[in-house]
Every structure is written in structure tokens, then in C-alpha cells.
């Protein structure tokens, strides 16, 4: 059989010729040519789920990196606040054809796919949470493969861990037995990301976020969102009723560090990205009593009460602290904010915004 036909036969079945085969140099040439063509395309970014807590701030980070004209934010809702200042596409990510249309029309090279139902919200409608979280990811991965996108970013979560996962300094590779549909979709999604990387060469990257805390958008239905809501209530009402017990430790991260970690990972050379499921990432761990104590240093008459609800069981199944040594070693991750620094920054910004 002629070498060209044999090469096509291998490639059409997604196979790689064995080491030593005379076809290997041809494949290396084709891969080099493909990479060269891709790198000549100007970076154009589509961020799906931009209306969420992380999405709006990550959009601004991408504006700073690539320019406002080269980033398209999208969501199923109309743009709010700062998102209205840039390019925006209102669409439902479950519309596969519309997704492909937007990608082609705008010559998109990178996709950040953040749209999902979170842990507490997902438990109210598990089947829809599975459908939305998983099908939308597969649509994006299919598009990345078929349209030869440069990179894809998809977030995982500590929700992918479970009750038998080691709770302290949870390692990168460990037992993963999630108890929520959100966590199940994150674990399954990690494996799909790795599959598309190994099977099709899609450069998909991911972080296992801890609880994310910011002040620019209200909480969005996650179990760790008490650590967002508490600051709003502290300034406005001087009190907060927490849905978790006082000593419930969870790994957390300030939004500024989350955006930094995401962009650092996506800008890292491909050879430095050793983990193709999802990287552990963390910066601090604390409990509601500790965050309340730091708030009282700024608002002395602040009071907190505790009334655990169904989210307590979710929190109890998650790690208390995270070992993110691989991220720090592979691509140089470093956090900037601890609990004290974060509290001071959030209260300062919220107070200024309310004036």
C-alpha cells in the first residue's frame, strides 16, 4: 500500500503509527505545519457564562490581556454592568449550531467555558444539571476538535472530591467520589477533557477551584457562597445567618487570585501543562467563625449566627485544605491573598461602591 494511503488510513481512525515507522516523519511534518498555521491566527476569545461571578471578572482580565475588541463575552442573559462595555453575544450554549456559528463568524481561537449549574442549585434539578453541564462541555470540545481551536478552558471544582477523599492537604491524584450532581459532572468533565487531549490533541486546560470569593457580583448558588454573602450583609445589616456550622473549614480563594491562576495556566507553554484532567489550586482555608472574626476587626458590631441547612452535608463531603504543589511546580502558580488581606480589600471596595 502506498505510504500516503497508509498514513490516511491511520489518521482517519485516529491512530498513530508505531515508533520507527517511516510514516512518523510525515506525521511530525503535518503536526508542525498545523501548529504553524494555528499560531499565525490572531487570538480571538469567546467566554461562555460571562454573567456569573467568575465570568465577569475573567472577561475583564481577558480584555487587559488581548484587548476589548478581541474578546466576546456571552451568556443566556442580557449583559449587565461592566459586560455591557464590550462585545457580547446573547445565546444559549445548549444550542450547538448557534455555538458553531458564533465561533466561525468571529474566527474564535480560544474558548473559556464557564456556564454550569452550581452545587446547591444543581441539587434542586439533578437531571437538568447533568444535561446542561455535560452536553455544553461536549459541544465545546467537539467544536475545538472540528474547528481546530488553539485552546479551551473549562473549570472543575473541589466538588469533584467526596467523603472518602483525604480531607487535609488533598493531593492532586486521590480518591474522587462526589456526592452531588455538580461534583459528578465535574469529575466526568475532567475525564472528557483528558480524553479529547489524548485522543484528538485538543489543548484543553482546567483548574479545580476552591470556593471563590469576590465583591463585584452577588453569590450564585454555591455551597461556599456564604463567604461572599457575608461581606454584603456585614456592611448592610451588621449581621449574617450562616447556613454552615461555625467550624466548617473549606479551601477558598479570592477572585483576584482565581483570575490570575486561570490566565497564568492558559498562558503557560503547553509543555509545562502536565495535568490534563484538572489542576488542584488553592490559597487559603478557613471556617465561618474565622471569617466573622476578621470582619469584626473592621466592623466591631458585626454579629453572626448559625443555622446549617442541606448545604452542610455538601460541605462536609469536601476537602478542608488542598495540596496544589503540582500547579506551583509545573507552571509557577503563586497566590497573593490570604484571609486578612482579602477581607480588608473586599470591605474597602464594597464601602466605596456604596457611597
User: DSSP character for 86?
Assistant: S
C-alpha 159/C-alpha 178 separation (Å) is: 6
Q: Assess whether 279 carries a catalytic annotation.
A: no
Q: Of 19, 24, 26, 74, which is closest to residue 52 (Cα–Cα)?
A: 74
Minimal CA–CA distance to 345: which of 231, 246, 187, 264? 231
Q: Residue length, the chain?
A: 355
- Do residues 59 and 86 lie in contact, with contact meaning Cβ atoms separated by under 8 Å? yes
Torsion of CA 225, 231, 234, 236, to 10 degrees: -100
Contact 242, 81 (CB under 8 A): no
**What is the rounded distance in angstroms from the CA atom of residue 118 to the CA atom of residue 181?**
9
Cα separation, 314 vs 293, whole angstroms: 24
d(CA 13, CA 138): 20
From the CA atom positions of the chain, what is the Rg in Å? 22
Residue 70 is given by DSSP the state: G
Active-site choice (112, 153, 182, 196): 182
> Which helix (H) or strand (E) element contains residue 326?
helix 325-331
Q: Which residues contact 32 (CB under 8 A, 6 or more apart)?
A: none
Pairing of strands 71-75, 45-48: parallel
Whether 312 and 270 have beta carbons less than 8 Å apart is answered as: no
Give catalytic residue positions: 182
Amino acid at each position: 500500500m502506498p505510504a500516503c494511503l497508509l498514513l490516511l488510513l491511520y489518521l482517519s481512525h485516529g491512530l498513530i503509527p508505531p515508533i520507527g515507522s517511516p510514516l512518523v516523519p510525515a506525521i511530525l511534518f503535518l503536526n508542525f505545519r498545523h501548529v504553524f498555521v494555528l499560531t499565525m491566527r490572531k487570538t480571538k476569545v469567546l467566554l461562555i457564562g460571562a454573567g456569573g461571578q467568575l465570568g465577569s471578572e475573567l472577561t475583564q482580565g481577558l480584555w487587559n490581556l488581548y484587548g476589548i475588541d478581541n474578546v466576546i463575552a456571552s451568556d443566556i442573559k442580557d449583559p449587565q454592568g461592566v459586560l455591557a462595555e464590550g462585545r457580547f453575544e446573547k445565546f444559549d450554549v445548549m444550542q450547538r449550531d448557534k455555538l458553531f456559528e458564533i465561533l466561525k463568524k468571529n474566527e474564535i481561537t480560544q474558548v473559556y467555558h464557564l456556564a454550569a449549574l452550581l452545587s446547591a442549585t444543581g441539587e434542586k434539578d439533578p437531571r437538568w444539571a447533568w444535561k446542561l453541564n455535560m452536553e455544553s462541555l461536549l459541544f465545546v470540545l467537539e467544536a475545538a476538535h472540528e474547528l481546530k481551536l488553539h485552546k479551551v478552558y473549562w473549570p472543575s471544582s473541589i466538588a469533584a472530591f467526596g467523603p472518602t477523599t483525604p480531607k487535609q492537604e488533598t493531593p492532586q491524584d486521590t480518591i474522587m467520589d462526589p456526592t452531588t450532581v455538580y461534583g459528578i459532572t465535574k469529575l466526568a468533565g475532567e475525564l472528557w477533557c483528558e480524553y479529547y487531549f489524548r485522543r484528538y490533541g485538543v489543548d484543553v486546560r482546567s483548574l479545580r477551584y476552591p470556593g471563590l470569593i469576590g465583591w463585584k457580583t452577588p453569590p450564585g448558588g454555591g455551597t461556599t457562597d456564604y463567604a461572599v454573602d457575608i461581606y454584603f450583609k456585614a456592611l448592610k445589616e451588621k449581621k449574617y445567618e450562616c447556613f454552615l456550622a461555625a467550624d466548617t473549614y473549606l479551601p477558598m480563594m479570592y477572585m483576584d487570585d482565581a483570575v490570575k491562576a486561570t490566565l497564568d495556566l492558559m498562558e503557560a507553554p503547553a509543555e509545562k501543562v502536565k495535568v490534563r484532567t484538572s489542576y488542584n489550586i488553592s490559597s487559603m482555608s478557613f471556617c465561618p467563625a474565622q471569617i466573622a472574626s476578621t470582619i469584626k476587626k473592621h466592623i466591631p458590631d458585626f454579629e453572626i449566627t448559625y443555622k446549617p441547612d442541606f448545604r452542610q452535608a455538601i460541605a462536609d463531603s469536601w476537602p478542608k485544605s488542598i495540596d496544589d504543589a503540582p500547579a506551583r511546580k509545573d507552571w509557577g502558580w503563586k497566590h497573593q491573598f490570604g484571609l486578612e488581606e482579602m477581607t480588608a480589600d473586599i470591605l474597602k471596595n464594597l464601602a466605596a461602591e456604596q457611597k
